[in-house]
Homo-oligomer: A and B are copies of this chain.
Amino acid sequence: MPAAAPAVEARVTDLIREAIVRGDYAPNQRLIEADLSESFSASRATVRTALLELASEGLVERLPNKGSRVRAISLDEAIEILEVRIGLEGLCAAKTAEGLTDAEAAEFEGLRAAMLAAVDEGDLVEYARLHQRLDARVRELSRHATAAGVLARLYAQSIRYHFKLASKPARAKVSLLEHVAIVDAILARDPDAAERAVRAHLLSVIDALRDLAA
């Protein structure tokens, strides 16, 4: 049996999603089915399916009989997404703190040390990678499929704003302290403190985003 090639459909969806997230297609740019069909050498129906899927993820906007376009996330929407994330990531952090195993605790200690080192060395890219990994692990270890699923979607939508924030050096120091507080609360196995720490962090991100716009 040849190494189980993934369905074309799923593959095309991923390719288009990556292209959007990477910024190959500008916000509000029209996505014409026939063009994508040629670009990715897939049938138009396959592309159509992919666009449908991406529309449900919030990355693409579909107007009946008028085609698809890359959905532009406004600053207001980005803030809305962060507000929703307060509730969801707070929940995940609390659950993670509640059910933390010793092995998981060790992993978080490692991440905390690595984040501190990265910021100390001024390596913003590495720090961004690490704190994304921290967020992802908190979501996974919460074992809360519903919250994790919703968060994954929201995250993809607002990725553009993540880049903008991550490029501000002054932001890293604030962000670091907040993330350390989150890790500390989880390591203390204190669900309430973890939820509060997440809330504080995301409120701070909202403020930073507002400043960025002003």
Contacts and interface: CB of A to CB of B under 8 A. Distances in A.
A144 B88 contact: no
Contacts of A156: none
A146 B154 contact: yes
Contact of A144 (B57, B65, B80, B90): B80
A28 interface: no
Interface string A80-99: 11011011101100000000
A160 B207 CA distance: 40
A80 B7 contact: no
A150 B147 contact: no
Interface string A144-171: 1111001000100000000000000000
Interface stretch (A30-38, A48-56, A175-183): A48-56
Give me the 6 closest cross-chain CB pairs, A-B, nearest first. Answer: A87-B87, A56-B56, A80-B146, A84-B146, A84-B147, A7-B64
Interface of A: 7, 10, 45, 48-49, 52-53, 56-57, 64-65, 77, 80-81, 83-84, 86-88, 90-91, 144-147, 150, 154
Given A7-B65, A84-B144, A87-B90, 12 more contacts: A48-B49, A77-B145, A77-B146, A80-B144, A83-B146, A83-B147, A84-B147, A84-B150, A86-B87, A86-B91, A87-B88, A146-B154
